A and B are shown apart, each in its own frame.
Chain A
Amino acid sequence: MIEVKKLVKRFGLKNILRGLNFSVEPGEFVALLGPNGAGKTTFLRILATLSRPSMGHVKVAGHHLPHEAAQVRAKLGVVSHMPLLYPDLTAEENLRFYAQMYGITNYQPRITEVLEMVGLENRRKDLVRTFSRGMQQRLAIGRAVIHDPEVMLFDEPYTGLDQDASEMLDEVLRTVAAEGRTVVMTSHDLARAENLATRFDILSRGVIAASATQEDLQNTNLLAFYKQALVD
């Protein structure tokens, strides 16, 4: 579903990604972990078509980037630590706007379905600026799945959430993943990533330094694996 070979991204003279190789099978939930400045957000922005690769081969949902970016965007849902929502519009109006931008014709039943999925059906007529951070983040996920994408990218979705909001977000993420979507999520919350993901890739100094599946971590835990990967 995602195939990346020898990806290089430069900002000026600085190399952020240095020949990164990465692939994700359909239906996999990959947690992309790594220290600050490792290049996780840059990498996700390239997959999301928001940034161009300097060099290398990137293929998402069967389409090459950056040349087939529009086709990729139609199959992609992105959630970042910012909600990408308009505070002066209601939850329903925000979803309606994005439904129109994704060319969904009969959007009303889909909006209701998505609001029920993220548990905000009772707040559909409320302005987003009155929502808590957790509710905004749940609505942001609703926005990202409105067009039923095949691939979901989450960039630090837990940033700024309290425990209750994080647990509710876990449930929503689990629902999103259980619908068979391919998911790539960056996070610093190892415990949450361990519960959600089926594979863990450690991004360090612009390359994937280590990779392990859930089965590989039966006799160890993610924290130990993460620390070991960074030491190596």
Chain B
Amino acid sequence: MDKNKIQKDELIPRAKRSSLSSRPSLLKATFAIVQKDLAAEFRSFELVSAMLVFSLLVIIIFNFALELDIKVRQSVTAGVLWTTFAFAGTLGLNRSMSTEKDRGCMDGLLLAPVDRSAIYFGKAISNLAFMLIVETIVLPVYSVLYNVNLFRLDLIGIILLGSIGYVAVGTLLSAMSVQTRTREVLLPILLFPVAIPVLLAAVKASNGLLTGADFAEVLIPLNILIVYDVVFIAVAFMVFDFVVEE
């Protein structure tokens, strides 16, 4: 046994070697997290497939439930779309943060000498990418089922702005809820009240575009979306450090 012991004189004094690491920039750390999340997801497809199946089921159920004429269908499109995106987004947000927490990987991220905002931005960009992938598949399916043309640049712009706002606040709140035992239940309870402005503005703007309303009518919800996105990204940047700290 004794021969296995590490004796004090066996320890080599640590040579003053040049440090291997340096503090990575916010951008590099964010990019590393996004790259890692995308690589893991494209290998397992766990998160995107769950979001996608859920979204397709929702629009198919709505398709059967709302046996409406073409005119009414156009007026409910924005509501159905954003309901689908919001619920599918919650699934993705929950799963994305759970994978970090369940195997202690969140500690691994927190132990890195990076600005903790990089963790927030990295996770938020990954979540946004997953949400956009699902939306890209849902839009043509919806167009076929509901016979509505959704391939309009202005509508895609609104969907992008709405998704950014939803993911910005959702990533922050999922970092909070993932630390609790009831995270699956807690996230929607925390998220939906806070996301109401972005969802309402997104529905209003999308509806305005689809029903051919005046640009002035779309401008107000569009402005709300932009302000919401900027405010919540700034708030998350400032408070994420406190949210993840024990």
Please report A residues at the B interface, Cβ cutoff 8 Å.
26-27, 29, 45, 48-52, 70-71, 73-74, 76, 78, 80, 82-89, 93, 97-98, 100-105, 110, 127, 143, 147-148, 150, 170, 174, 177-181, 194-198, 214
Contacts and interface: CB of A to CB of B under 8 A. Distances in A.
Contacts of B216: none
Interface string B5-37: 111101111110101111110001101110110
B112 A101 contact: yes
Contact of B22 (A78, A103, A180): A103
A150 B16 CA distance: 10
A52 B12 contact: no
B104 A80 contact: yes
Interface residues of B, number: 46
Contacts of A100: 24, 28-29, 31-32, 35
Interface stretch (B39-47, B74-82, B135-143, B154-162): B39-47
A179 B12 contact: yes
B103 interface: yes
B104 A83 contact: yes
A75 to B, nearest CB: 9
B105 A84 contact: yes
Contacts of B36: 86, 89, 93, 97
Contacts of B110: 49-50
Contacts of B112: 73, 98, 101-102
Given A76-B111, A98-B112, A180-B11, A88 B24 contact: no
Interface in B107-122: 107-115
Nearest to A150: B14
B214 interface: no
Given A29-B11, A86-B103, A177-B11, 8 more contacts: A26-B14, A74-B21, A80-B104, A86-B105, A88-B41, A93-B39, A98-B108, A181-B14
A198 B241 CA distance: 37
Contact of A85 (B13, B103, B246): B103
Contact of B40 (A74, A84, A86, A195): A86
Given A102-B21, A103-B23, A147-B21, A195 B14 contact: no
B246 A102 contact: no
A179 B35 CA distance: 32
8 contacts: A51-B246, A82-B104, A88-B39, A88-B41, A100-B28, A147-B20, A148-B17, A197-B6
A97 B6 CA distance: 32
Interface in B123-137: none
A214 B14 contact: no
A97 B31 CA distance: 10
Contact of A180 (B12, B23, B32, B111): B12
Contacts of B22: 103, 105
Contacts of A80: 104, 107
B105 A85 contact: yes
B153 interface: no
Contact of B23 (A70, A87, A148, A150): A70
Contacts of B39: 88-89, 93
A103 B105 contact: no
A50 B24 contact: no
Contacts of B13: 27, 180
A183 B11 CA distance: 12
A50 B14 CA distance: 26
B1 interface: yes
A101 B109 contact: yes
B240 to A, nearest CB: 15
B6 A45 contact: no
Nearest to A143: B108
A191 to B, nearest CB: 8
B4 interface: yes
